[in-house]
Amino acid sequence: LEWSAENPDLTFCLQRVALQWIPCLFLFIFSMYEAYKCSNSRFRDIPWNWFNLSKMLVTFVLMCMSWIDLGMVVTFKEEQGLFEVQIVTAVLNALSYVVMLVLLFSQRRYGIRSSGTIFVFWFMRMFFGIIQLRTELQNKELRGDVSSDSVNYWEYQYISYIIQYAFICLILVMELFPDQEPSYSDYPDAKNPNPELRSSFFVRLFFAYFDSFTWRGFRNPLTMDSMYDINPQDASRELVPPFDKYWYESVEKGRQKQIQADKKAGKTGMEYKPHAQTNGSVLPAMVKAYGAPFWFAGLFQLAISLLQFASPYLMQELMKWIAIDGPGWQGVMITFGLFATSLLIALFNGQYFYNTFLTGFRIRTGLISGIYRKALRISSSAKKDTTVGEIVNLMAVDAQRFFELTSYLHVLWSAPIIIAVCIFLLYEILGVA
């Protein structure tokens, strides 16, 4: 890409390799995560319907067209001067559609109504494909260089890509909507289920499922009957067992360390009661049981920290463009960059706080459950040193502090990074002075 050109265009290698390989590699990597979701899903069997059948049919057509593309590249590679990398690109595209078919079938089987991995894959195919679509529409001279006695590969490529891009846009629109409700669930039936469960990834990304609740509260006073039921995976019957499992492992590990220490010290005849005080730690139990959303939120915090410095640079480039009266497409690109940066920061901020608050909520639930059970089986002698008020404070106040703390923990590492980058940028602008 020549930044100073009046009619810019990306190189052939970048269009046909990087921009097509990135979505495929993304799908290959995150398909493992989708397999993990399927294996842990508590839902089963979304009925066959026109919606999921249509998505699988469109994906199957795209897969067939990719295999045809591969055959055309192999056939006319020597005759019309095609590149070896086009073979690899065609193979990757075909394999990505094969993986997509497997994911669509598996998610229907395991009751997953919408997938972020699939949505992002189709979005990248659509977004990155805009550049090649523009190139295909402009490159008329390539489609006229081959004699009429031979099949023109570039003419075939033009028609094939237009059809494939139309199918990609169609299936991306379909991914905006969720599939039907699964036929079977391990969870009990909810009286007023949370709309998040029946929302697509796109709707959950913008928290649009909450709009109806907001509108209801605007029109009429809200009551307890207006509240949605808690998500089944966030109920205490689902959150407490993992915490108990890792907590007992921590206690047992601490007890074994104490036994080994007593043996080395020559102590014998020690009696270890099941609920005796040990050096078990609650922190490993919290991290193992509820840490996944918290670490995922850390990725959003890292992206937010880096994107904060994009807007000043883009504004600087925009001022330069205005000063030199540069090409119009440069102004459009810079303005789009500013818009995309602000949009991504807003999206990442929402997902960051959602995941951190979700982690804090789950930690609080596990701690309250553990404290309450401990209070029920505490010995009479121990009750003399612990009042009811102290136990209530542990459950109501101290557990709540964990909930409030989780959204700020990532600042411990992100703030030094932001400060360091700011100092570096100031040094670049002002120098030693």
DSSP string, 121-190: HHHHHHHHHHHHHHHHHH-TTGGGSS-TTS--HHHHHHHHHHHHHHHHHHHHHHTTS--PPPSEESSPPP
- Give dist(CA 341, CA 232) in Å, integer: 35
pTM score: 0.88
pLDDT of amino acid 172 = 95
pLDDT value, residue 101: 96
Q: How far apart are the first and last CA of the chain?
A: 37
Contact call for residues 311 and 346 (beta carbons, < 8 A): no
**CB-based contacts of 398: which residues, under 8 Å, 6+ apart?**
367
In this structure, are residues 354 and 206 in contact, taking their beta carbons and an 8 Å threshold?
A: no
Reported as type and span, the H/E element at residue 44 is strand 43-44
In the predicted model, what is the mean pLDDT of residues 257-278?
Answer: 65
Q: Express each pLDDT in 329-360 by its tens digit.
A: 888 889 999 999 999 999 999 999 999 999 99
Range scoring the smallest mean pLDDT among 7-21, 33-47, 278-292, 298-312: 7-21
Helix orientation angle between 84-109 and 50-76, rounded to the nearest 10 degrees: 160
The owner of tokens 């009266």 is 325
Q: What is the mean predicted confidence (pLDDT) over 52-71?
A: 94
Cβ contact 168:129 at 8 Å: yes
**Confidence at residue 397, expressed as pLDDT on a 0 to 100 scale:** 80
DSSP-based three-state secondary structure for 207: coil
Strand partners, 44: 184
More confident residue, 424 or 140: 424
Average pLDDT over residues 298-310: 92
Question: Is residue 237 a contact partner of residue 263, using CB atoms and an 8 Å limit?
Answer: no
Distance CA 371, CA 368 (A): 5
Phi-psi region of 431 (alpha: psi -120 to 50; beta: other; left: phi over 0): left
Q: Which helix (H) or strand (E) holds 43?
A: strand 43-44
Band (pLDDT 50/70/90 cuts) for residue 255 is confident
Q: Are 114 and 178 in contact (CB under 8 A)?
A: yes
- Residue 353 and residue 407: Cα distance in Å, rounded? 6
pLDDT over 70 for what percent of the chain?
Answer: 91
Looking at every residue in the chain, the average pLDDT score rounds to: 86
Q: Which carries the bigger pLDDT value, residue 408 or residue 264?
A: 408
Residue 395's φ and ψ, nearest 5 degrees, are: -80, -40
Residue 218's H or E segment, with its range, is helix 211-219
* Contact status, residue 116 vs residue 181, Cβ threshold 8 Å: no
Give yes or no for a contact between 185 and 238, defined as CB atoms under 8 angstroms apart.
no
